[in-house]
């Protein structure tokens, strides 16, 4: 049996999974072992796994010894296979062949208990007893908020890594998973176009994105979708929906044979609606097209909520490269004695560490507006 590693770095994935998480795990482990000769502990199921391990130990020295023995005896793939093992000592083999795979081999979860200060204190105590020198948290907005709280409440070096297909973290130009999700949406639009053209239909496709429309607008630009509706335009009224339908009808009178409409899930309606936006928009469009005297009364509108399809699939080269760059910058911050806690961010195509709670990039909003204008000019018929 090998001895328990000295001063390891721990890594966990939290919140919704995103393509590129596995590529990051591979990079953070390989750089630790090959370049810096620092062992890496993988925490299963994010904060939930960390909290579960902390509760098992619960201040009892005997349980702590047992946990350390489990980690050293069941390292690498052996530890990953055991679904009950919360903390795994990662090795080269455990991250071999995972770079392009979607999801995360460590698992991810949301943990409501982590909102409680006493629960976070237990997690911190466990990490300190294991001799962990730094914790790397990979995830979206909520996960990075948890990382910030750990940084404020402990002496650990805590580094966050943005990973969310929503691209709603405004301090970085791109998060892990966005590039792959856009590719997946383009693939989906390509398939919907085939049937839309064949039957002269309007297809309304709902994308993910939370309160951000970035995913939808990037997919619209890349796929050639005829229309994109995002939360940034404000609540969608009946009059606005009629205007969109009128725009589609006008294009069809000028020769367009179909329309693909992307609507981001964060779009709000006035008055508020409880159904998915794609279905609300379908009903409004259908009502407009079937009005008395309309030129295309037989025009069909078909809605589809693309959902979690967007989170899966083989990670693109862009996400794999960004994962490696984030991992390298994370290690620089971890090992720099004068370094600080923070989050890896892509700004002006350069990866750097920004502080928790840093201001949004002002150019993000300007860039989104420019993409909207570009799409409008490219899609007009």
Q: Residue 204 CB: number of other CB atoms within 10 A? A: 27
Q: What is the pLDDT of residue 160?
A: 98
234 has a pLDDT exceeding 70: yes
Question: Quick one: tokens of 176?
Answer: 């892990």
pLDDT of residue 3: 80
Determine the Cα–Cα distance for residues 306 and 192; give it in Å rounded to an integer.
11
| pLDDT reported for residue 381 | 85
Predicted pLDDT of residue 125: 96
Enumerate residues 6+ apart whose C-beta is below 8 A from 78.
none
pLDDT at 339: 84
Active-site residues, by number, are 166
Please tell me the predicted confidence (pLDDT) of residue 301: 97
**pLDDT number for residue 110:** 87
Tell me if the domain spanning 9-176+315-359 has CATH number 3.40.50.450.
yes
Tens of pLDDT, residue by residue over 312-325, are 999 999 999 999 99
Cβ atoms 270, 235 nearer than 8 A: yes
Which residues belong to CATH 3.40.50.450 in the chain?
9-176+315-359
Task: Answer yes or no: is pLDDT of 124 > 70.
Answer: yes
Confidence of residue 60 (pLDDT cuts 50, 70, 90): confident
Domain 179-312 CATH class label: alpha beta
Domain span(s) for CATH 3.40.50.460 in the chain: 179-312
Closest listed residue to residue 307, CA positions, set 204, 192, 205, 193: 205
As a whole number, mean pLDDT of residues 257-268 equals 97
Residue 191's H or E segment, with its range, is helix 178-199
Res 109: pLDDT? 87
Q: What is the pLDDT of residue 150?
A: 97
**pLDDT at residue number 354:** 97
Q: Which residues contact 231 (CB under 8 A, 6 or more apart)?
A: 209, 211, 212, 213, 264, 266, 267, 268
**CA dist list (Å): 335 to 21, 37, 126, 332, 341:** 22, 11, 21, 5, 11
Residue-level pLDDT at 1: 53
- The average pLDDT across 6-19 equals 95
Which whole number is the average pLDDT over 198-212?
Answer: 95
> Mean of the pLDDT values across residues 293-303?
94
pTM here? 0.95
Question: Which pLDDT does position 203 carry in this prediction?
Answer: 97
Q: At what angle are helices 178-199 and 214-223 packed, to 10 degrees? A: 50
């Amino acid at each position: 049996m090998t001895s328990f590693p000295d001063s390891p770095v721990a890594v966990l994935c939290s919140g919704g999974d995103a393509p590129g998480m596995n590529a990051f795990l591979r990079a953070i482990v390989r750089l630790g072992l090959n370049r810096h000769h620092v062992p890496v502990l993988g925490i299963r199921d994010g904060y939930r796994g960390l909290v579960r391990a902390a509760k098992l130990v619960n201040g009892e020295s005997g349980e702590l010894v047992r946990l350390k023995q489990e980690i050293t005896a069941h390292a690498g793939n052996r530890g990953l296979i055991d679904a009950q093992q919360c903390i795994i000592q990662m090795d080269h083999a455990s991250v071999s062949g995972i770079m392009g795979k979607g999801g995360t081999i460590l698992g991810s979860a949301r943990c409501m208990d982590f909102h409680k200060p006493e629960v976070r204190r237990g997690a911190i105590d466990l990490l300190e007893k294991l001799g962990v020198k730094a914790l790397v948290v990979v995830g979206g907005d909520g996960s990075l908020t948890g990382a910030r709280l750990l940084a404020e409440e402990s002496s650990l070096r805590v580094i966050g890594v943005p990973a969310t297909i929503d691209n709603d973290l405004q301090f970085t130009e791109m998060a892990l998973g966005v590039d792959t999700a856009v590719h997946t949406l383009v693939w989906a639009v390509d398939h919907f176009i085939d049937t839309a053209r064949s039957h002269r239909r309007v297809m309304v496709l709902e994308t993910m994105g939370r309160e951000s429309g970035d995913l939808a607008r990037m997919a619209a630009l890349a796929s050639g979708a005829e229309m994109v509706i995002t939360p940034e335009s404000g609540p969608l009224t009946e009059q606005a929906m009629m205007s969109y339908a009128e725009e589609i009808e006008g294009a069809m009178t000028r020769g367009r044979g179909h329309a693909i409409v992307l609507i981001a899930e964060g779009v709000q309606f006035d008055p508020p609606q409880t159904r998915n936006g794609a279905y609300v928009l379908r009903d409004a469009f259908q009502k407009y097209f079937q009005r008395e005297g309309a030129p295309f009364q037989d025009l069909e509108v078909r809605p589809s909520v693309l959902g979690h399809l967007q989170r899966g699939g083989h990670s693109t080269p862009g996400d794999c490269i960004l994962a490696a760059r984030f991992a390298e910058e994370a290690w620089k911050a971890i090992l720099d004695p004068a370094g600080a806690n923070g989050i890896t961010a892509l700004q002006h195509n350069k990866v750097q560490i920004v502080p928790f709670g840093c201001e949004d990039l002002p150019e993000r909003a300007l860039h989104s507006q420019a993409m909207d204008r570009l799409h409008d000019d490219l899609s007009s018929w």
